[in-house]
Structure formats: C-alpha cells, structure tokens
Structure 1
Amino acid sequence: MKFIHGSDIQCGLREISPIQIAVAYVGIDWKAYIVPEKLQDIVVSPTVGTNPAAIVEIAEAIGWEHVHFLDNLHAKIYLGEHSAAVGSFNLTANGLSAEGLQEAGFLVEDARTLLELRARVDDYRQQAAMAYPTTSAKLARLAELRALWDRAIKQGVIRNDARATALDAYRPVSGDEIYVCWGLGNIAYTDQIVSPGTVKNSMSFLESDMVRSDRWILCWTSTSSGHPDKRYHPYWLHIDEVVEGGAQEVPYTKVAVERTGRAELSPPFEITDAARNALYAVLNSGEFPEFLDHHETWSVEPTLPRLPAFLRAMSEAARRTTVSPPESDEALVHEFDARIREAMDISLSKKYVKTTIDGLLKKYSPVILAKRLVKPNSDIRSGLKSLAKHGALHLSFESIMLETCFASLFNKNDLDCARFNLREADPSYRPPLA
C-alpha cells in the first residue's frame, strides 16, 4: 500500500488504468485523468457535482448498460487489473488537478484487498441496478440533473465548465429538454411579471402548454406564410421561470422568462451557419408541420413527441451541408436575383419605389445593380426613404444584401454602406445579421 497526494494521484491513476470506477462525482475533464479506452464500468452519483455532459460522454464510450447511478454514493474507488486507488478524490479537475482541493489516498496492490474492493464495487452496482434498473430511468434522472446543473450555474453555486457543443454532438436525454418555437414578437406584460426591467427575453404560450422552467427554447422568426424568415438569425432563450397570466395577448398569456443578471449558460448546441441552415431546411421540409406558424392557434404540445425526430433530421441536414461542396456563386447569385426581383415587384405594385428601378433591373443584374446603387449619398436613398416611410425596409436592396446567406456576394464596404443607409433611413430598423 502506497500513500499518494497532490500530483501523485494523477500519476497513480494512469499507472492503474482503471477498468471499474465507483465515484461520487465525474467532471467534464474525466478523460484527462484515466485511459478512456480501458474503462468498462462506472458507478456514479447523479447529483449536482457530477457534470451531466460527462455522463453522456461516458455512456457513449462504454454504453448505458455499463453506467450505473447510485444517489448516495460517496466512495472513490478506482480498480485496475492488478492494482487500485482509494481516497478522497473524485473524477474531476477539482479532485485530480492538484490545483483544486487537497486530496489524498492510497495505491493498493494486495490481492486480498483488491478482492474486497471488487466486492464492494459489485455491491454498489447491485444497489444502483435496483435504484435505476433501465436506461429510461437513468435518462429521466439525467434530465433532472441537467436542469439542476443549469440552475446551479445560473445562481452562481457552481462554475460553468461546459465546452461549446456542435449540433451533431448534442445528445438530448428527455423529450422536453428544449422547445423549438417561432417568436410572437414584443410581449405586453401583465402585473404578474415581477420586475419587468430584469426580463432579458421572453416567449408566450397557451396557458394549457406544459412549458417548464430550466429548459431551453430554440427561437426562430416566422414569415406571414408561417415558414422561417431567413433574414433573421435563430437564437436561444433559457427559461428561468414560467409565469401564468403574464402576457396580455390572448390566448398566448403564459410567459417563459429569461432574467438578466444571472450567470451565462452554454446552450445545448451552437447555432452555427450549418445549424441555422439545417433548422430552416427541416422546418421547410414539409415533414414537421406541427412546428410551423400556420395554425389558427399554435401550441407547443404537438411538437414535443416529434422533437427527437426533428433534432435527428437537423443533425442529418447539418452533416449533409458539411460534407457536400459549398453552394456555387452562380446558384447564390440566382437566388439573390430572385429575392430582389420579388421584393421590387411588391414595391412597384404598392408604389413604394419609382418605375425607373424596373428599367435598371433590365439593364443590370441585381448583384451589379446593388453594388452601383448602395453607396452613401446615391439616388437610391430617395427610394429607401419611401420604403422606410411605409415600414417596408425589408424589401430594400440594403436589407436583402445583409441577409446572412447573401453577404458573401459583397465586400465589407458594400455591407457597411448598406448598414449606414438603413440607419439613415430609420435608426430603429433592425437589419438582418450578415
């Protein structure tokens, strides 16, 4: 038996190469302290202190049948083939980095003691099998732990050690872990909303919708047709609280609220260009009508059973985008042409702009015309002011140029001029992200 402490613990665990572990807490850096490929079985406490993302990683590596939950586990036992470590150290950076807590323990090679330790770990595993006998039971507990973990971070109880997650690496563990919803615009609150000045973001629902706190909403903007408006970037909203009767817009009076002044959380996955495009592709696919804004009264409830399939479809769409060649400039130019001509047809029919624009479009392609017209102090600004007057700046060359999907057709000066012109026409107008 050898006494170990500080940095000796890391060295000892590497020498042991644990194949079985019984430990209270597991952190996001668990792979740094053991040989992941050697691990066969683990018993862990699914309570705050264990990072839920680490549990998902371990389950993917060794299978859920080899991950066991025991709520009141406090032991720390690391079993290798010929030796073991026992002590105060959890499988976390705080316990093993030698820069956090002061930890100590023993390395064991005595055959009899190893048999006793294996028997003890077997007993923990049997208790865990009674507490959480199925993968479904483990996933349900993990979903609760994720909510508790996020709440603890928001309240400053624990440090956020999460890493950014890509869409294809995201693994949901419950059916209502996130909601995918279109935004209802600005919400007029009732006096049920306490301290409205601290509301960072909000979303309203039917009173009958079973929306829960400590969940995430993937928010997107809808067009009049009910499909996503690609001019606007989707965003995440974390639900800190749910307030019944919090909004004046009947029937959408239940409000999910995110507050200011709380620690930042890492969202379920990053909304990269690939994730955004995948979201819009799935919403436009026709396979998930429950999510679209074309119902007389929209409810989140019908979307919940469809969420696993929806997220799988998003991941597949993102992977196709990643592995396929990027859209050619020619195809992008063609799409920009179509968008501009559609916008100008509407503007001309409503007399927002002069008919001279029609002649210019016959003479120049929309991309070339945009570069010629969108300049400081150019003649287009009279048309832009007219669009602003009628609340139709989204039909302008400038606004369409700034749509994320078209920004690559223009240089920085073109886009800066577009933003400048829009601010001049209407300082309150929020252009699309580019």
Structure 2
Amino acid sequence: MRLIHGTDIKSTIRDISPTSIAVAYVGIDWASYVSPDRIKEIILSPTLGSNPYAIVNMVKYIGWENIYFLDNLHAKIYLSASQAAVGSFNLTANGLSAQGLEEAGFFIEEKEEIDGLRVLIEKYKDKAKFAYPTTESKLERLAELRALWDRAVKTGGIRNDSTEDELKDYQPVASDEFYVCCVWGEIEYSEQVIFPTTIKDSVSFLEGDEIQPDRWILCWYARNDGYPDHNRKPYWLHVDEVISNGAVHVQYTKIAVERNDRSPLFAPFELTPTVISALWTVLNSDRFLNFLGNVEPWSISATLPLLPVFLQALKEELVATSNSSIMPIEPLRQAFSNRIREAMDISLRKKYVTHSIDGMLSRKHAVEVAKQLVQPGAELKSGLKKLAKANALQLSFESIMLEKQFQPLFSKHDLEYARFNLLEISPTYLPPERN
C-alpha cells in the first residue's frame, strides 16, 4: 500500500487502467483520466456533482447496463484485476487534475485488499440495482439531474463545462427534453409579469398547455399558411420560468420565459444550415401536421407524444441530406432564385410573361413569389398558357419548383398545387428531374 497525492494520483490511475469504478461524481472530461475502452462498469451518484452530459457520454462506451446509480455513494474506488486506488478523488478535473482540490489516497496491490474491494463493488452494485433497476428508471433520474444541473448553471452555482452537440450525436434523456413550437411575433405582457425588463425572450401557449421549466424550445417562424418561413432562422429558447396569464391574448395567455439575467447554456444541438434544412423538410412533409401553425387553436399538448418520432425524422433527414447532393437551405434558396432569374430573362425576351412578375421578384425572394403565384383555385395565369403553347413549360415557376433539388424549399401542398397547374395546362407534360 502506498500513499498517493497531487499529480501522483492521475498518473497512478492511468497506470492501473481501471475496469471497475465507484465514485460519487463524474465530470465532463472523465475520459482524460481513464481509458474508456477498458472500463467494464461504473457506479456513481446521480446527484448535483455528477455532470449529466458526462453520463450520457459514458453510455456510448459501456452502455446503460453497465452504469449503476447509487444516490448516497461517497466512496472513490478505481479497480483493475490486480491493482486499485482508493481515496478522496472523484472522476472529475477537480479530483484528478491536481489543480483543483487537495486530494489524497492509497495505491493498493495486496491481493486480500483487492478481493475485498471487489466484494465491496458488488455490494454497491446490488444496492444500485435495487434503487434503479431499469434503464427507464435511470433515464428518469438523469432527466431530473439534467434539469437541476442546467438550473444551477443558469443561476451561477455551477461552471458550465459542457459543450454543444451536433444533432447526429445528440441523445435525449427525456421525451420532452425540448419542445418544437412555431412563433409569430411580439407578445404583450400582462400585469402578472412583474419585471418585464428581465425577459430576454418568450413564447405564448394555451393556458392549459403543460409547459415545464428547465426545458428548451426549438422555435421556428410560421408563414400565414402555417408552414415555415424560410426567411427567418429558427432558434433555441431556454425555459427559465413559466407564467400563467402572463400574456394579453384571447387564447394564448401562458408564457414560457427566458431571462436575460441568467448565465448562458449550450442548447441541445447546434442549428447548422444542414440541420435547418432538415427541419424545413420535415415540417414541409406534412408528416407532423400538429406541429404546423395552421392548427386552431395551436396546442403544445398535441405535439408532445410525437416528439421522439419528430427527432428521429430530423436525424434521418439530416443523414439523407448529408448523403445526397441537396444543398443547405440558404444556398438552395439562392440557387432557386438564380434558376428563376434565368428562366424569367428568357420568358421576358420571348414575351411569354409580363414585367409585373419581374417587379414582384424585385420586391420579394423568388421562393415567396413562387408560393404566392402557385395557388389552388385560381384561374391559370396567361403566362403559363403562353409557356405551354410555346412548349416551354420548363421555364414556369411550377416546373422549376418540382425540380428535385428545389423540392425541400416547399411544402407538400405547394408542390401539389404546382403539379395540378401543370396537369391542367398540359396533361402529358413531365417536369424535368434536374439536379
């Protein structure tokens, strides 16, 4: 048995290369101090000293079946087949970096002591299995811990040492870890909001909607028809508090508030251009009608059961987009605009269309002009008739909208309207599959 302290602790644990660990707390940089590929099992305390994001990261290496939760665990044991270290040091930077707390313990090689530690580990595991017998029970506890952790970071009680995930790596620990909500405009606050100057942002809901604090809202702007407004980027809002009757509105009176006097948190995942493109495609697909802004009255309650499926669809669309030639949304919008401009120049030169449409393009983006022009029930435009007569329908808004590469810019209904118009004007015309 040998006393270890200071920098000797970190080097000793690396030499031991533990396979079984029992510690109170784990930190986000746990893999810097032990070999993830060597660990077979770990027992830890799922309380406000363990970083919940570190625990999620551990699952990738050893699986939920080898992670055990024991609330009142305070021991620190690092055990391999023939060596061990015990002492005061958690699996955190404070415990092992020699730059935080003053820690000390013992390095052990004696077989009798090693066997005793192995028996003790098994006792801890038995207690942990009784406390949290299933993966579901662990996830439920981890969701509570994540909410506590985020709240502590927001109020300055804990340093934010986590990082923002990419969508492909994001693993939720609760089905309602974040909501998906369309937003429209400014909210007028009622007298229930005592300090409106502390509000950074807010979203309003029906009074009966069950909005929980310490959740995230993925906010996206809706057009008048309820589908995404591609001109405005989605964003994250963290729910610091929920205020009933906080908004002056006939229906949507409950508000979820993010405060401006709290420390920032990392959102569940980064909203990159490709993620935004995937979000638009999923919302435009009409697979999740309850999420759209044309539901009256709109309620978050109708979306909650579908959140896991929505997240899976978002990830699948991201993979599909990454594996195809589809561009992120902003470059794709620009490509559509260029394509329309090219077609418009030809149509104007040959007098298929009037300058009125060209004027619309000078005031609005080509995507919005297309949505405005290609509508159901309207009399077919004379320009479309002229294009059909000249055998030049490939220059029409409808035809260009239906080109495969541009379809993610439009809702299912937009595309159906375009097909309907083309079939009405020329039943035999097939839009080209350009890329």
Q: Structure 1, residues 136-174: CA drift from partner, whole Å, max 9, x if none?
A: 000000000110000000110010001121001110111
Q: For the residues of structure 1 that align with 2:21 and 2:232, how far apart are their CA atoms?
A: 48
Q: Do the aligned partners of 1:184 and 1:203 also contact (CA within 8 Å) in 2? A: no
Indicate conservation of the 8 Å contact 1:24/1:74, yes or no.
yes
Matched, 1:74 2:43: no
Distance 1:331 1:109 in 2: 63
Partner of 1:350: none
Q: Deviations over 1:268-304 (max 9, x none)?
A: 0011111111111111112111111111101011111
1:326–1:278 CA distance, 2 compared to 1 (3 A): closer
The equivalent residue for 1:265 is: 265
Q: What is the alpha-carbon distance in structure 2 between the residues aligned to residue 117 and residue 123 of structure 1?
A: 10
- How far apart, CA to CA, are the structure 2 residues paired with 1:200 and 1:245? 18
CA distance in 1, matches of 2:331, 2:240: 45
Q: Any gaps of 5 or more consecutive residues in structure 2? A: 370-435
Q: Which residue of structure 2 lines up, in the alignment, with residue 335 of structure 1?
A: 336
- 2:245 corresponds to which residue? 245
- 1:327 and 1:30 mapped to 2: Cα distance? 37
Paired AA for residue 362 in structure 1: L
Which of 364, 367, 377 is 1:395 aligned to? 364
Please name the residue that 1:304 is paired with: 304
What residue number does 2:136 align with? 136
- Given that 2:214 and 2:240 are in contact with CA atoms closer than 8 Å, whether structure 1 keeps it comes out as yes
Deviations 1:170-229 (A, max 9, x none): 101111110000013100000111210110000000111110000000000001111111
2:55 is the alignment partner of 1:55:
yes
AA aligned to 1:181 is C
Shift of 1:309: 1.0
State the distance in 1 between where 2:184 and 2:107 align: 60
The structure-2 alpha-carbon separation of the partners of 1:332 and 1:186, relative to structure 1 and needing over 3 Å to count, comes to closer
Please state how far the C-alpha of 1:246 moved relative to its aligned partner.
0.3
In 1: Cα distance, 2:364 partner to 2:191 partner: 37
Whether 1:316 and 2:285 are equivalent positions in the alignment is: no
8 Å contact 1:177–1:215 — kept in the other structure? yes
Q: What's the secondary structure of 2:106's corresponding residue? A: strand
The offset of 1:22, in angstroms, is 0.6
Are the counterparts in 2 of residues 150 and 265 from structure 1 also a CA contact under 8 Å?
Answer: yes
Q: Unpaired segments of 5 or more residues in structure 1? A: 343-357, 370-379, 401-434
Match of 1:351 in 2: none
1:24-78 CA deviation, whole Å, 9 max, x = no partner?
Answer: 0000101000011010111110011111111111112111111111111111011
CA 299–11 in structure 1, closer or farther in 2 if over 3 Å, else same:
same
* Alignment TM-score, normalising by the size of structure 1: 0.78
CA distance in 2, matches of 1:330, 1:31: 38
Residue 147 of structure 1 pairs with residue 147 of structure 2:
yes
Q: Over residues 353-390 of structure 1, what are the superposed CA-to-partner deviations in whole Å (9 max), with x where a residue is unaligned?
A: xxxxx8897249xxxx9xxxxxxxxxx9xx8xxx9xxx
CA contact 1:79–1:85 (8 Å) conserved in 2: yes
Alpha-carbon deviation of 1:321? Answer: 2.1
**In the alignment, is residue 168 of structure 1 matched against residue 137 of structure 2?**
no
Q: What is the aligned partner in structure 1 of residue 325 from structure 2?
A: 325
Task: Give the C-alpha shift of residue 324 in structure 1.
Answer: 2.4
AA aligned to 1:316 is E
Alpha-carbon distance change, 360 to 338 in structure 1, aligned in 2, over 3 angstroms: closer
Q: Where in structure 2 are the equivalents of 1:378-393 lying within 5 Å?
A: none
Q: Counterpart amino acid of 1:153?
A: V
Counterpart for residue 88 of structure 1: 88
TM-score, length of structure 2 as denominator length: 0.78
Instruction: Evaluate the alpha carbon distance shift between residue 339 and residue 231 of structure 1 in structure 2; reply closer, same or farther with a 3 A threshold.
Output: farther
C-alpha displacement of 1:320: 2.1
Distance 2:40 2:276 in 1: 37
1:36 match: secondary structure: coil
Structure 1 CA distance for aligned equivalents of residues 70 and 28 of structure 2: 19
Q: Tell me the SS of whatever aligns to 2:25.
A: coil
For residues 20 and 154 of structure 2, the distance between their equivalents in structure 1, rounded to whole angstroms, comes to 33
Residues 155 and 109 of structure 1: CA distance in aligned 2, closer, same or farther (over 3 Å): same
Q: What is the rounded CA distance, in whole Å, between the counterparts of 1:167 and 1:330 in structure 2?
A: 20
Q: Secondary structure at the match of 1:168?
A: helix
Is contact 1:206–1:251 with CA below 8 Å preserved after alignment? yes
Q: Give the letter aligned to residue 87 of structure 2.
A: G
> What is the CA RMSD across the aligned residues, in angstroms?
2.8
Say if 2:11 is the partner of 1:19.
Answer: no
8 Å CA contact 1:184–1:204 kept in 2: the answer is no
In the alignment, the residues of structure 1 paired with residue 325 and residue 242 of structure 2 have an alpha-carbon distance, to the nearest angstrom, of 43
Q: Distance in 2 between matches of 1:341 and 1:297?
A: 42
Alpha carbons 2:41, 2:62 under 8 Å: kept? yes
Do the aligned partners of 2:337 and 2:365 also contact (CA within 8 Å) in 1? no
Change (3 A) 1:287 1:222: same
- Alpha-carbon deviations, 1:286-341, whole Å to 9, x = none? 21111111111010111111111111111111122223235499976662157779
2:348 maps to 1:362: yes
The one-letter code sitting in structure 1 at the alignment partner of 2:179 is Y
What is the Cα deviation at residue 96 of structure 1? Answer: 0.7
Q: 1:360 to 1:29 in 2, by over 3 A?
A: same
| 1: CA distance, partners of 2:363 / 2:129 | 58
Structure 2 CA distance, aligned partners of 1:166 and 1:330? 21
Change in 2 beyond 3 A, CA 1:332/1:212: closer
Instruction: Please give the per-residue CA displacement for 1:66-109, whole angstroms capped at 9, x wherever unaligned.
Output: 11111111110111111011011100111111111111111111
How many residue pairs match? The answer is 362
Residue 190 of structure 1 contacts residue 247 of structure 1 at CA under 8 Å; is this kept in 2? Answer: yes
User: Alignment identity in percent?
Assistant: 49
**Aligned equivalents of 1:25 and 1:331: distance in 2?**
47
Pairs within 5 Å for 1:229-240: 229-240=229-240
The change in CA–CA distance for 1:29 and 1:334 in structure 2 (over 3 A counts) is: closer
Q: Relative to 1, partners in 2 of residues 1:394 and 1:244: Cα closer, same or farther, differing over 3 Å?
A: farther
Name the structure 2 match of 1:212: 212
Which residue of structure 1 aligns with residue 197 of structure 2? Answer: 197
Whether the 8 Å CA contact 2:216–2:239 is kept in 1: the answer is yes
Q: In structure 1, what is the equivalent of residue 380 of structure 2? A: none
Q: How does 1:275-286 map to 2 (within 5 A)?
A: 275-286=275-286
